[in-house]
Chains A and B, each alone.
Chain A
Amino acid sequence: MKKHQNQINDLVAYKNALLIDPATKLNIAGGILVENTKIVDVGSHLSGTNIPSHADIVDCFGAYLAPGLVDIRAHLGEPGEEHKETLDSASQAAVAGGITSLVCLPNTNPVIDDMSVVDFVARRARKLGLAKVYPYGAVTKSLSGKEIAELGLLAKAGAVAFTDGFESISNAHLMMQALLYADTFDLLICQHPQEPALVSGGDMNAGDTASRLGLAGIPKQAEVIIVERDIRLLESTGGRIHFSNLSTLESVDAVRQAKNRGLQVTCDTAPPYFALNQLAIGDYRTYAKLSPPLRDETDRQAIVEGLIDGTIDCIASDHRPQDEESKRLPFSQAAVGGVGLETLLPISLELFHNAHLELIDVINLLTYSPASIMNLPAGRLEKGMPADFVLFDPLQGWKINDQNLCSKSKNTPFDGRPVQGVVLRTVVDGRAVFNIETNNN
């Protein structure tokens, strides 16, 4: 494989870079020194004669160097849906997008509700040697929402957190038990907050657009009802909860208040929810059919506001590959979801270009913050940390073209969108696993 470049020397210096490390608030010109798989030095002093003479030198020519992105919500298709995505194609897409750590959803076949499946996914990904893949374990057996899965043993096998993925845990008693049980082992439950009874049969956000298009609406309340319910449950159970994919003003408010009350609540959103609104559906574009559905402009602005004030802790890709056959259907029959690994960085950088956030804050939402929530050894440029980082140019423009994506499925809601921000090189454990010059696409 072209993208694997084995290092000849075990000491490599990246010099002449603009370092961004949200964990240490580092935002300075300098360099980074890598020995084998680890970062051994980082800072402005790494230039010229301060670099050990026997080190290989990579000149970054003033590019930004940040921790590799950490994506805590991606569906990788394997095992079970290899026609949509494989660990191989997803990992290629991830490193092309600057992502070095992925947390993958358990909605596979078989479901990741058993130690052997955790092991399978982790081992397959390790063998590929691209992005690091950490599996979520299922909260309930077979994602049925009825019985708690073996959270303790799954965590021992390597599951970093627990979610039913696309399924919302709708039974309040079970959710309460799951929160209690997870807290026994200090584990994190991630909820996709969508009350199934309100989502069922719906195609898009309930509102004027749905009324005009004649599509069945999904009310915004479907989200906030579960968010508020789970916050109430957490008050009695203790422990932590993370809400995935927030899309509405009301649920951002609910999380903001819960945080103010001192509860251990975190949440993320995905690029479509701060970069698009329901108008993206236009004339029944099924690539814009997502879960939760794209909301209206007020909600989009509320999500941006949540990212600015820190209510929303991080941005995840919510990568959900669907083959063309699942999308080229009447809107109501089309599958939900969009791919997002390769567009995560440029779309998130719009927050910087639109002057909503500083660059380092955007990078924080994509690296240190998600890594902290999941407790991953990633997202930091520090001595002793794995040498997982990305070189990028935040200004260079390009146009998203679904056919150029590395993902096996091409269902991006951002097709044709002009963006800024190009990944130049992605490094995992000291190895350059993606290089813009050698990339065929």
Chain B
Amino acid sequence: MKNPAGINTRSDMLTSFSRQHLLGIEGLSPNEIAFLLNRAETYINQNRQINKKKSTLRGRTIFNLFFENSTRTRTSFELAGKRLGGDVINMSLLQSSIKKGETLIDTAMTLNAMHPDILIVRHPASGGVKLLSEKVNCAVINAGDGSHEHPTQALLDALTIRRRVGHIMGLNIAICGDILHSRVARSNIYLLSTMGARIRLIAPKTLLPTNVETLGVESFNNMKSGLKDCDVIMMLRLQRERMHASYFPSSREYFHFFGLNYKKLELAKKNAFIMHPGPMNRGVEIAPEVADDVSRSVIREQVEMGVAVRMAVLETLAINLDTSQPEFFDEKTPKPNQ
């Protein structure tokens, strides 16, 4: 089997990304990240064709398992799975139905009995996806766990930056806003710094994790010093559903000091561009005219890259499954560490 780039897919992949799951970016090597980005690159053009369908995942069963509301990530994964020819099943299990870890494990066991190949899981609790992955034999992709990681978002952000600038190494990248609650921020910190970028976080101190500098980033409490010399400005959504009122007083105050408008944008490099993982709160973290300025904002491109990245991840994990997992999973087989 050859991929569009003409590389022998199987053996090349095994040496480049041989993990069973994609649970997070932390711990991935620059080679593994570059490999996934390179694979994703090959799908961008395909997704722009009239015939977008491939058969790489034919016969594969993919569960889109969302314990938390999502529209864009779920759709993006669903589209990625279908374009690769897999059978994608969407399951929404909102917070109310899953309250205890015990129940999550039961859910995992139940699903496992249906012999899925890939589980795409979003869970409101940090570490929830990893817990689930320990109980199943298929591949698991973390589509966001609490405030921990959202690896495919970081990959798509990296791909967007790489296509725009040509490289990630040496860039000054500012991540602004609700770092404390953001899994996007954590995944991006790991990924972009692994790839050689310098990360600055800009947020009020209430929205910065304690001792965040230990992650190898600089932190700033104001846009003026934080945005200086930045190549990329990544705005985060203010996750009001995750916080009580004691993190910041009001949207108007937040926007005044930490919202991105043209005036603050001028503090960054002249050609700096703006990213946002969406969904945006216009007038809270970003001024509408900045978000809509196609010469500065790559927000829509990020969405496009999302599908390509997720196709690359699905494809890679599916190929790894062939070699790393028994063809038929026997429920009674004891797993290590249990």
Contact = CB atoms under 8 A, between A and B. Distances in A.
Interface of A: 141, 146-153, 173-174, 177-178, 180-181, 183-185, 236-238
A178 B222 CA distance: 17
A149 B205 contact: no
Contacts of A177: 206, 246-247
A149 B249 CA distance: 5
Interface in B246-280: 246-250, 252-253, 256-257
A181 B210 contact: no
A149 B206 CA distance: 14
Contacts of A238: 205
Contact of B249 (A141, A183, A237): A141
A319 B260 CA distance: 43
B180 to A, nearest CB: 10
Most chain B CB within 10 A, of A141, A184, A236, is at: A184
A148 B248 contact: yes
A153 B248 contact: no
A180 B205 contact: yes
B81 interface: no
A237 B221 CA distance: 13
Contact of A147 (B222, B245, B252, B257): B245
Most chain A CB within 10 A, of B221, B245, B249, B252, is at: B249
A108 B248 CA distance: 23
Given A148-B246, A173-B246, A184 B252 contact: no
Given A150-B252, A153-B253, A184 B204 contact: yes
Contact of B206 (A153, A181, A236): A181
Given A148-B245, A150-B252, A181-B248, 14 more contacts: A147-B246, A152-B249, A153-B252, A153-B256, A177-B246, A180-B204, A180-B205, A181-B247, A183-B205, A184-B204, A184-B222, A236-B210, A237-B205, A238-B205
Contact of A150 (B206, B221, B222, B253): B253
Interface residues of B, number: 16
8 contacts: A146-B246, A147-B245, A177-B246, A177-B247, A180-B204, A183-B205, A184-B204, A236-B210
Contacts of B205: 180-181, 183-184, 237-238
A178 B205 CA distance: 10
B204 A181 contact: yes
Contacts of B204: 180-181, 184
A63 to B, nearest CB: 47
Given A177-B206, A181-B204, A181-B206, A152 B246 contact: no
Contacts of A149: 249
Contacts of A180: 204-206
A436 to B, nearest CB: 46
A212 to B, nearest CB: 43
A147 B206 contact: no
B245 A150 contact: no
A282 to B, nearest CB: 44
Most chain A CB within 10 A, of B204, B210, B246, is at: B246
A324 B250 CA distance: 40
Contacts of A173: 246
A236 B206 CA distance: 12
Interface string B202-240: 001110001000000000011000000000000000000
Most chain A CB within 10 A, of B204, B210, B257, is at: B204
Contact of A146 (B245, B250, B256): B245
Nearest to B220: A184
A151 B256 CA distance: 12
A181 B257 CA distance: 12
Interface in B126-163: none
B257 A152 contact: yes
A47 B252 CA distance: 56
Contacts of A148: 245-246, 248-249
A178 B247 CA distance: 8
Contact of A152 (B210, B245, B247, B256): B256
A104 B249 CA distance: 22
B246 A184 contact: no
Contacts of A147: 245-246, 249
